[in-house]
Amino acid sequence: MDGLLNTYRKLISAEKTDFKRYLHSEIDWNERMTCIMGARGTGKTTMMLQHIRDIFPTKTKLFT
């Protein structure tokens, strides 16, 4: 579990939010579940990490 949390922290801290894909504003983030489908390398994970960073901008640890 510690390895997973370390990977999460590393990914979140490295993610920049200065550029967001057009789809980011079209997703209803208030839904209970959201599915983002697309080809490899199109930015799905990046968009999710940016959204998490937008929700918790000052928290360095989401899981404590």
| Residue 61 domain flag | no
| Residue 63 domain flag | no
> Other C-beta atoms within 10 Å of 41: how many?
8
Residue range(s) defining the domain that contains residue 12: 2-55
Could you write out the DSSP letters of every residue in 25-48? GGS-TTSS-------TTSSHHHHH
| pLDDT tens, position by position, 22-53 | 788 888 888 899 888 999 988 888 888 888 88
| Residue 19 domain flag | yes
Of all residues in the chain, the percent with pLDDT exceeding 70 is 83
Q: Is 11 in contact with 49 (CB distance < 8 Å)? A: yes
Residues 26 and 29: their CA atoms lie apart, in Å, by 9
Residues 15 and 51: their CA atoms lie apart, in Å, by 10
Q: How many domains does the chain have?
A: 1
